[in-house]
Amino acid sequence: MIFRSLALLLFLNALIAFTACNDDKKASQPVTIAIEAILGDQEFQSGVCVDGIGREGQSLNVSDLRFYVSNVEAKSVNGDWAPLALSTRSWQGNGVTLIDLADTETESATVGLNNYIEGTLPEGNYDQLRFTLGVPFELNHSDFNVAEAPLNVGGMAWSWLGGRKFLRLDATPCGDSAEDTDLTGVPLHIGSTECQGDIPDIQGCDKPNRSEITVDWTPGDNLTFDLDALFENTDVYDNTAETPSLCMADPSVDPDCAPIFTALGIPFDDQSPAQRVFSSTDREIHAHATGDANEGDHGEDDHEHHDHH
């Protein structure tokens, strides 16, 4: 009798464990969030001259647009935040995704595209999404030569700090308005500054320059990155004397960065602005990736989604 009771107890424990395991497997939902950039009130395309950009309505040809996204979480309707467990692929790993929206052929560019974040959330109803525009400190200052994808991209290395460019945008003046400037390039590179320590042993950064983005969102929604909002209060051809063109990540030494930091919601000079560049949309955006996060050859789509709303 004792043997039977023990056997029954063991069986019931195994059944409970099996049921719990199956419940865990069922208690998640796949999530794909596609991101589309807008420039000049139309879908962004690299290598195309677009008019009416910035405060003075000038023309830009954007050749590179990449940024890192990390710490993605969704808020359930009961107020709890749940992390998005990222799937592992060449464009995302260690909780970080590299978004690459420009099809460029420059030496520093990744030869490929990735416009989506992919992972799983616990089953439930959600009404907000938040994420960091940037790479977490504990990962940021690693050697890109030996780092795992997507942190192994040389074109996103912020070499003199041993970190990463969180956002990289490269553009050139174009069209008739380009005749009014001597600028040959309009770069926007944002990463951490005023870091202490010796590369690669960085102890901290006085200006981390990460933006915490929060938007209203429900599963199935996608994201829009509004370049018009980014440049809304910027004269993209103007450049403060003795500073880098446009912005290299420090408003305290380059005042041209201030309106861009404000638009992105990056804290600076005791200000904590509310970002206005990212927003959610229930519009269908084709989620796709080609190639991988390394500099290399084009590849076939490694994933396709067609979201229907």
pLDDT of 122-135, one tens digit each?
Answer: 999 999 999 999 99
**Residue of 175, 174, 179, 81 lying closest to 131 (CA atoms):** 81
In total, how many domains does the chain have? Answer: 1
In a domain, 157, yes or no: yes
Q: Are 125 and 61 in contact (CB under 8 A)?
A: no
pTM score of the predicted model: 0.86
In a domain, residue 4? The reply is no
What is the per-residue pLDDT across 16-25, written as a single tens digit (0 to 9) for each?
555 544 444 5
The whole-number average pLDDT for the span 281-298 is 78
Q: 198-204 long-range contacts, Cβ below 8 Å, gap at least 24?
A: 199/141, 199/161, 199/162, 200/141, 200/142, 200/143, 200/162, 201/141, 202/141, 202/161, 202/162, 202/163, 204/137
**Residue 20 domain-assigned (yes or no):** no
User: What pLDDT score does 242 carry?
Assistant: 87
Residue ranges making up the domain that contains 51: 28-301
Q: List pLDDT tens digits, range 54-113.
A: 999 999 999 999 999 999 999 999 999 999 999 999 899 999 999 999 986 655 556 689
Round the average pLDDT of the chain to a whole number and report it.
86
Is 309 a member of any domain? no
List, for residues 190-218, the tens digit of each pLDDT value.
Answer: 999 999 998 878 999 999 999 999 999 99
